[in-house]
Amino acid sequence: MSDLLEIVAPKSARALAMMDVPVQCAMLIGGVWREAASSLPSIDPATGKTIAIIPDASAQDVDSAVSAARAAFPGWAATPPAERARILWRIADLIDANIDELAELETLDQGKPLHVGRWAEIPGAAGQFRFFAGQATAIEGRTITPSITYQPQGKQMAAWTLREPVGVVAAIVPWNSPLVLTAMKLAPALAAGCTVVLKPAEDTSVTALRLGELMMEAGVPAGVINIVTGRGAISGAALAAHPGVDKVAFTGSTTTGRAIVDASKGNLKRVTLELGGKSPVIILPDADLDLAIPGAANAIFFNGGQVCVAGSRAYVHSSVYDRVIEGLTAQAAALQLGHGLNPGTHMGPMVSARQAERVAGFVNDAQSAGASIMTGGKRLGAAGTFISPTVVANVDPDMTIVREEVFGPVLVVQRYDDLGDVVAAANDSVFGLAASIWTESLSAAHRLSREIQAGTVWINCHSMFDPSLPIGGVKQSGYGRDSGIAALDNYLDWKTVCAVI
């Protein structure tokens, strides 16, 4: 691997301006852009330079945002679905029209290679708004024939259900894929007729705020979308506990997920949780290794492993273990690290020095516990935020590096001999977010996809996303689903109407 690639100048005026002087951002409450009493720096993790100053919202700011969302709710819920759909479609068009700028902002704010934002995540965000624009006009209840026998003589019963928006939604999202994860909450919530207070992650609020501008331009009425930025412990916690919020749609760590469940108890909010993972990648003896080796490498090293579904535990059959570990090590070592704006960069930095330190800590602990670092494990760059892609072998299943989510470019490889054992090993985790199976055997693929405890199982691929495919976890990876028709249910209630006729 060569030295870190340097930054190259962005093309959009906004991104260029940020590199010059930090841009002062405001938060969106009731259709008005407002300052907060205090602020936080937003840092380009590759250079350590402050690129934006974002409001550090207080509990009072959260209160104003919730009031604005409450006030806007009846009007938005009553807006004809076709009109909501038109607005969502316009948001998607505006994302597309500003795709180069949004990708550059995401790279500067989060660190990811430009091509990840430009070709996967920002189009993915637009795709979410288009998919749920379609769903807005397809919301329907049912007619039911109840078997109630005690109705007045000579009368009959008729019953039907209505689908109604749950109300004000608090959408709280993490820093790894900021815009697309935001879109996964906002698009179904708005399609359902809910109003939203969005709390982006403190490290990566810039594209959410830009999306707020585009949503206003698209015609989203004032108060339907509100954006408060700032610290999780302050504004996030205030939102999760606020009695004016009906539902929390959360994506983030399992630890914060638990805090959200606790905070939501006061008014028994509905809660959906998209949490962490430790997803297995299972390579069978008959796998096409030309597909499986780069596939397994991409499953962990894409976006620097800062992906909830990252394939961080590889289980490789003994008969192909040596070839696979050699191939994975070579793939890792060949990845070019550098500033995300440089077109030659395969992998950018971790989102922050804090995260890089955390990831390096896992690798050091594993080494101290006797694991072999086949490649990588180094902190690089002046800001120390780059972690070289790491392959770890000779681990035992109880090691922390096998059990806990690292959320970085660290792959743990284990060998197995028996398919029954590998299913048990893969399921021996508190998490159950995703898994991939690499095999040419149709029956093994079908069987394992049923036996693996995970919200998503990929066969001969990993990290394939589409707005139509539900994503979410079982066990401590959370409950509820983002994306797909299933996601709309998170934002709708059933109302039963029962009549004597």
What are the residue numbers of the active site? 274
**Residues 20, 14: Cα–Cα separation, whole Å:** 10
Q: Which tokens is 56 given?
A: 């550090």
Q: Contact letters (x/-) for ligand NAD, 429-458, by CB under 6 A?
A: ----x-------------------------
Binding region for ligand NAD (CB under 6 A) out of 99-107, 187-195, 248-256, 413-421: 248-256
> Which letter, b or e, does each residue of 244-255 get, where b requires 16 or more Cβ atoms within 10 Å of its Cβ?
bbbbbbbbbbbe
Q: Is 372 left (phi over 0), alpha (psi -120 to 50) or beta?
A: beta
Question: Of the candidates 45, 55, 178, 277, which one interacts with ligand NAD according to CB under 6 A?
Answer: 277
Q: Contact letters (x/-) for ligand NAD, 305-344, by CB under 6 A?
A: ---x------------------------------------
Question: Of the candidates 59, 233, 369, 474, which one interacts with ligand NAD according to CB under 6 A?
Answer: 233
Question: Of the candidates 52, 259, 325, 423, which one interacts with ligand NAD according to CB under 6 A?
Answer: 259
Establish if 207 lies at the interface with ligand NAD (CB under 6 A). no
Rounded to a whole number, what is the distance in angstroms from the first to the last CA of the chain?
Answer: 77
Are 344 and 5 a contacting pair, CB within 8 Å? yes
Establish if 19 lies at the interface with ligand NAD (CB under 6 A). no
Are 394 and 357 a contacting pair, CB within 8 Å? no
Helix extents (H) in 193-246: 206-218, 237-241
If the CB atoms of residues 259 and 422 are measured against ligand NAD, the closer one turns out to be: 259
Establish if 303 lies at the interface with ligand NAD (CB under 6 A). no
Q: Tokens 């990566």 label which residue?
A: 204
Establish if 274 lies at the interface with ligand NAD (CB under 6 A). yes
3-class DSSP state for residue 207? helix
Are 461 and 306 a contacting pair, CB within 8 Å? no
Q: Which tokens is 321 given?
A: 């273990």
Question: Of the candidates 73, 89, 131, 175, which one interacts with ligand NAD according to CB under 6 A?
Answer: 175
Establish if 256 lies at the interface with ligand NAD (CB under 6 A). yes
If the CB atoms of residues 98 and 256 are measured against ligand NAD, the closer one turns out to be: 256
Establish if 172 lies at the interface with ligand NAD (CB under 6 A). yes
CB count in 10 Å sphere of residue 151 = 13
Q: Which tokens is 461 given?
A: 């691929």
Establish if 55 lies at the interface with ligand NAD (CB under 6 A). no
Binding region for ligand NAD (CB under 6 A) out of 30-38, 198-206, 376-384, 440-448: 198-206
Side-chain-facing half-sphere of 279: CA atoms under 13 Å: 32
Are 315 and 425 a contacting pair, CB within 8 Å? yes
Question: In the complex, which residue's CB is closest to ligand NAD?
Answer: 232
Establish if 498 lies at the interface with ligand NAD (CB under 6 A). no
- Which residue ranges make up the site for ligand NAD (CB under 6 A)? 172-176, 181, 199, 201-202, 232-233, 236-237, 240, 251-253, 256, 259-260, 274-277, 308, 405, 407, 433, 471, 473, 478
